[in-house]
Amino acid sequence: MRLGKIVTLLLAGLLTFSSLNSLAATKNTKAKSSISTKKQTASKAIKKTAKTAKKVTAKAVKKETAAIKKQSPKNLHKQVTSKHFQTGVASYYANKFNGRRTANGEIFSNAKLTAAHKTLPFGTLIEVTNIRNGRSVIVRVNDRGPYAHARVVDLSSAAAKKIGMHHSGIAKVKIAVVNKNANLTKDLYALY
């Protein structure tokens, strides 16, 4: 009889152990599937955010392109993006410099939209903005200077008139170097 009780207890223990083992396995599977579901949800959210960002970027590019195409050649300089380079005081050439040679060998004319700068390479297009009134003009660097009174740029008389500093003689300005977009730069260069 003792043997029968031992066998019964062993069978009961074995059944209990196997049911506990299967319960633990079920909990483990549920935990793994929960983690997997969370990962999939996060992945879907990331993909959705990326798609939204692409749509927004594409819309912005299309909008900017459409705005550029609508502008007339008269406003060509507005199409060119620029970055801030320098701020300081600008002056303009006196009439006595008309007909003289500039540092790059050209004949100076106060009627052209040109400028003198100490360091920028010859031929660089810069946008000069009068800080007081917000008016701006794009000029081409063809001379060196100015060397008086810590000024940053010397403009031709025509350029000075365009930004409204002709009567005062000097003005505080912001200088931005125009990006080198080949087609736009050619079109702008033709204006000078």
- Distant-in-sequence, close-in-space partners of 126: CB < 8 Å, separation ≥ 6: 85, 115, 117, 120, 138, 139, 140, 141, 153, 175, 176, 177, 178
| pLDDT surpasses 50 at 71 | no
| CA 159 – CA 128 distance, rounded (Å) | 9
pLDDT digits (tens, 9 = 90+) for 142-159: 999 998 888 999 999 999
- CA distances (Å), 119 to each of 35, 77, 170, in order? 61, 23, 20
Which 3 state secondary structure label does DSSP give 39?
helix
- Write down the pLDDT at residue 89: 95
Confidence of residue 22 (pLDDT cuts 50, 70, 90): low
Token output for 159: 């350029």
Give 80-137 as a DSSP string: S-EEEEEEEEEEE--GGGTTSB-TTSPBP-TTS-EEE-SSSPTT-EEEEEETTT--EE
- Write down the pLDDT at residue 149: 85
CATH topology of domain 74-190: Barwin-like endoglucanases (2.40.40)
pLDDT digits (tens, 9 = 90+) for 81-115: 567 789 999 999 988 899 999 999 999 999 999 99
pLDDT digits (tens, 9 = 90+) for 132-142: 999 999 999 99
Compute the mean pLDDT over every residue in the chain, rounded to the nearest whole number: 75
User: Which is more confident, 120 or 52?
Assistant: 120
| pTM for this model (two decimals) | 0.54
Average pLDDT over residues 33-55: 62
